[in-house]
Amino acid sequence: MLRKSLASVLVGLALATQAGAQSYDACIETAARNPSAALAQAEAWALASGDPAAEHCAAVALAELGAHGAAAQRLADLAARPGAAPAAARAEMLEQAAALWLRDADAARARAALDAALRLAPDFAAALEARAGLNAAEGGHAAAAADLTAALASARGADRAGLLTLRAAARRNAGDAAGALTDARAALDTPGVERAEALFEKGAALAALGEPGEARDAWLDAVAAHPGSDAADRAQLSLQAMDVN
């Protein structure tokens, strides 16, 4: 289900009465139980009033029904209305739309939505991280690292650790093993880090720098940190490849 983080903004802007706020809450709650009914409710409400909150509830209902592309388009159309919400909230709608388009494997529309979100809110970390993922998937590792650098400017705690680990991967794949190692080590020193991922990246960077012994130690630590995780599995495969070679 779409995050409800826009709810307070939309309700505050679009609903002048307590009854209106209750209508939005009821619509969202219905979407979780009976999305078809919620969609009908939201469509009628939107037709009668044009409230942005009604449009948002319709998008939530469509997403619950698995109509990801239609939900994404609804959010993008809502975000295109300058009076619907402040720029930051409209940027978040576009980031949500991008996530939905990615579920439909529509990377082109997802990228366009993220670019539009970042025009509205250039420092929006979630959109920067999402666009970095698209860039990396398309082989644009240097561009991914640049977006992650921008996202890191305001990140703290576990969010910062995750972004550092992602940038370590982007830098490594862009050929900057030294920068990747710096990021992996910084991630491991940050509270809330997913240690297996950061340890895998540390090992990969060390291997690229010609330090197989230290790389092996990092990968062994990754396997021990979270057995069965994707990062641990990748570390195990790297260890096996090292033994073969």
Domains and CATH numbers, the chain: 33-154 (1.25.40.10), 177-244 (1.25.40.10)
Give the per-residue pLDDT at 16: 43
Give the per-residue pLDDT at 86: 85
Give the per-residue pLDDT at 15: 47
240 burial class (0-12, 13-18, 19+ CB within 10 angstroms)?
A: exposed
**CA distance linking residue 129 with residue 97, whole number of Å:** 15
CA 219 to chain centre: 26
Q: List average pLDDT for each run of 10 residues in the chain, which is 245 residues long.
A: 49 48 84 95 89 89 96 95 86 94 96 98 96 97 98 90 97 98 96 92 98 97 95 96 81
Give the per-residue pLDDT at 8: 46
Q: How far apart are the first and last CA of the chain?
A: 46
**CA distance linking residue 94 with residue 59, whole number of Å:** 12
> Are the beta carbons of 151 and 133 closer than 8 angstroms?
no
Give the SS3 label for residue 101: helix
How many CB atoms sit inside 10 A of residue 175's CB? Answer: 11
**CA distance linking residue 85 with residue 11, whole number of Å:** 10
CA neighbor of 219 nearest in space, from 184, 186, 191: 184
Give the SS3 label for residue 50: coil
